[in-house]
Amino acid sequence: MLGLNKKDTTILIVVAVLTMAAPFILNPFPTNSSLAQFNAGYPDLMQRFVIYGIFAIGFNILFGLTGYLSFGHAAFLGIGSYSAVWMFKLLSFNVIPAIALSIVVAGLFSVVIGYISLRRSGIYFSILTLAFAQMSFNLAYSVLSNPKFNLTNGETGLQVYGSDPQYLKGSGPDVTHIFGLEMRATETLKLGGWSFDFNVGYYLCALILLVSFYISVRIFRSPFGMMLRAVKSNQQRMNYTGLNSRPYTLAAFVISGMYAGLAGGLLAAMDPLAGAERMQWTASGEVVLMTILGGAGTLIGPVLGAGFIKYFENIFSKINDNVLHTWFAALPDGMEDFLITIVHPFVGKGWHLTLGLMFMAVVIFLPGGLVQGGQKIGRLFRRRGANAPGPEGEAARKQPAE
């Protein structure tokens, strides 16, 4: 289907079902239950899941296929956001031109940064991209925001004011919209104790994620994708085989930069504000974590990793001592205090600690990321089937590792 083989079609359908049914899947607990804490089906959180999913899918095209580890991809995310907000300021709150411009501008920047950074490989490449991203951050934070020439609005962040021209606005709404349909519009479905939110912005992002994912699958299975894997495997052989690895890596860099720009544009489309902190090196590090945690070089891994990290960031960070007290209230006082003392550093503001430990565990035990974990479990089940004779067992034994 759609030029994909059976296995890839299955993966695409899985992603489609997951994204389309996300409002249900992420809200498994009734609103009033004590576990409602773990619900993640809020519009803004779901939007972030898919937007960072797009960011990670793009990053994976560069890092997963060619092995070039960029530490500066947040720069493109930020550039995408700034471009989108400028479109809102100049044209109107329609998100289509904003998203289009964010992809184009991020693409142009990545041509320049990629052309220079890709002259080196390995750690030197990573450092060069990091340097570029930090320069971009500082430009956005201070240099490009002075009274004479205010491109980024510095610390405050770029936003839309009533005095902005918005030449094409006409009678359009005062919030971001797609041809009149407001991004923030949400339909709430109440079902018994449960409530599910269906948000326009989320579904727009989810559809774009599906298209981005489909394109990335096609790239993975194309001759171009094969050449990118050849770069990772043996660049020397590639050059002695008559292939110029430089344009291949540059193309991968620009494609992933455009994905990052798209993600940045979508962030601004959901909330028309662009700040310099979006370009900081921690943001670049985050996408690296997402990709590795999910499984670099796999199709679905980056999406999983992005969802995982964003979930932790937003849900675990909200568990404070009060919440812990209600959880352990049934226990005797001494025990309750003891447990809270132990759990305390890992939740709330300490969620980074939990994430760090988990990241270490994944990297040490599952170097292929969460996807490898899933495959291991799958194989465990299949091995049981494989003990049975017949063609099914035979097929299970032959299943190659990804």
Which residues are at the interface with another protein (CB under 8 A)? 3, 215, 218-219, 221-227, 229-230, 232-234, 236-245, 247-248, 251, 255, 400
- Determine the residue type at 196: F
Instruction: State which residue, 146 or 234, has the beta carbon closest to another protein.
Output: 234
The answer to whether 274 touches 75, Cβ cutoff 8 Å, is: no
Mention every residue, 6+ apart, whose C-beta is less than 8 A from residue 163.
Answer: none
| Bridge partners, 196 (sequence order) | 189
DSSP string for 103-152 = HHHHHHHHHHHHHHHTTS-HHHHHHHHHHHHHHHHHIIIIITBSSSSBSS
Instruction: State which residue, 222 or 320, has the beta carbon closest to another protein.
Output: 222
Instruction: State which residue, 194 or 259, has the beta carbon closest to another protein.
Output: 259
Instruction: State which residue, 229 or 344, has the beta carbon closest to another protein.
Output: 229
Which of 116, 115, 103 lies closest to 58 in space, CA to CA? 103
For the chain, the maximum distance between any two Cα atoms, rounded to a whole number of angstroms, is 78
Query: CB of 297: closest distance to another protein in angstroms?
Result: 9
Query: CB of 240: closest distance to another protein in angstroms?
Result: 5
The 8-class DSSP code of residue 198 comes to E
Instruction: State which residue, 34 or 241, has the beta carbon closest to another protein.
Output: 241
Token couple for 77? 């995310």
Query: CB of 367: closest distance to another protein in angstroms?
Result: 14
Count CB-CB contacts under 10 A for residue 344: 15
Query: CB of 262: closest distance to another protein in angstroms?
Result: 16
The answer to whether 381 touches 371, Cβ cutoff 8 Å, is: no
Q: Is 249 exposed, middle or buried (0-12, 13-18, 19+ CB in 10 A)?
A: buried
Query: CB of 378: closest distance to another protein in angstroms?
Result: 20
Query: CB of 4: closest distance to another protein in angstroms?
Result: 9
Query: CB of 219: closest distance to another protein in angstroms?
Result: 5
Query: CB of 226: closest distance to another protein in angstroms?
Result: 6
Distance (Å, rounded) from C-alpha 179 to C-alpha 326? Answer: 46
Distance (Å, rounded) from C-alpha 30 to C-alpha 351? Answer: 24
Instruction: State which residue, 43 or 297, has the beta carbon closest to another protein.
Output: 297
The answer to whether 281 touches 77, Cβ cutoff 8 Å, is: no
Instruction: State which residue, 175 or 238, has the beta carbon closest to another protein.
Output: 238
Instruction: State which residue, 223 or 332, has the beta carbon closest to another protein.
Output: 223
Query: CB of 220: closest distance to another protein in angstroms?
Result: 10
Distance (Å, rounded) from C-alpha 84 to C-alpha 398? Answer: 49
Query: CB of 7: closest distance to another protein in angstroms?
Result: 13
Distance (Å, rounded) from C-alpha 128 to C-alpha 132? Answer: 6
Instruction: State which residue, 188 or 233, has the beta carbon closest to another protein.
Output: 233
The answer to whether 76 touches 110, Cβ cutoff 8 Å, is: yes
Count CB-CB contacts under 10 A for residue 201: 27
* Strand 273-274 to 158-159 pairing: antiparallel
Distance (Å, rounded) from C-alpha 380 to C-alpha 386? Answer: 10
Instruction: State which residue, 239 or 341, has the beta carbon closest to another protein.
Output: 239
